[in-house]
Amino acid sequence: MKPISEVSKIPTNAQLLEMITTLTDKYNSVQKELQAIKNQIYTKNKKIDVLNWLNDHNTCDVEHTHSFLELMNNIPISVEDLNVIFETNFVNGVFELINKHISSNGNIDLVVKCFNQKKNILYVYEKDKWVILENDDFMNVMKQVNVKIFDAFKQYRDLNSDKLDSDQYQVQYNSNLKKIMCVNIPFDAKCTRIRNKLYTENKQCIKSITEIQLV
């Protein structure tokens, strides 16, 4: 005959049933968690076309009165605006003027989108749809911006013509002219830097919007 202490360690049928039920519940819970993880992995690895996704999910309720390139072509450059370039440099100054102008016509997110996962690619709203901004298109509008900057600088020079004999003003004038000319950087490189700055300052993480991997 077994000692009473050993007999007391043997679970009853009710206890065995409870243990089996508990283990079954834990197993089912683990299976559900594994399936959820598999579903997340599948969703994250699902590939879509960015332009299709933008055009399907980012259309506006109101009609656009301007496209990105139209806004760029209509950027006004005044003598006062030149101070932004004088105080920084050509690339940073022109970027600030572009950002300011687009934002003054509504949220910049309405006409420009860019994502961490698609480095230095700008998606812009053109003719009621989203498209990838081509380098040639951006350079063409930048040529117009550049002309406006030089026109404004000519006005700046004329307004201060009475100071040209001042040595102190000449130093300031030459410094400002160098920033406008920015001769140490080729025009296409300036365009690329401004474009990349637009990307850097406005990019967002697509995973904060939807759990997908962009193609």
Is position 76 within any domain?
yes
Task: Output the pTM of the full model.
Answer: 0.72
Same domain as 173, residue 83: yes
**pLDDT tens by residue, the chain, 215 residues:** 545 555 556 767 777 677 778 878 777 888 887 777 665 554 454 566 788 888 887 665 445 557 899 999 999 999 999 999 999 999 999 999 999 999 888 778 888 999 888 899 999 998 888 999 999 999 999 999 999 999 999 999 999 999 988 999 999 999 999 999 999 999 999 999 999 999 999 988 766 555 444 55
Same domain as 197, residue 108: yes
The total number of structural domains that make up the chain: 2
Same domain as 129, residue 27: no
Same domain as 36, residue 85: no
Concatenating the DSSP letter of every residue in the chain gives: ---HHHHHHSPPHHHHHHHHHHHHHHHHHHHHHHHHHHHHHHHHH-EE-HHHHHHHH---SS--S--HHHHHHT----TTTHHHHHHS-HHHHHHHHHHHHHHHTS-GGGTEE-BTTSTT--EEEETTEEEEPPHHHHHHHHHHHHHHHHHHHHHHHHHTGGGTT-HHHHHHHHHHHHHHH-TTS-HHHHHHHHHHHHHHHH-B-GGGT-S-EE-
Show the domain range for 124.
Answer: 46-214
Same domain as 164, residue 130: yes
Same domain as 80, residue 26: no
Same domain as 109, residue 25: no
Is position 1 within any domain?
no
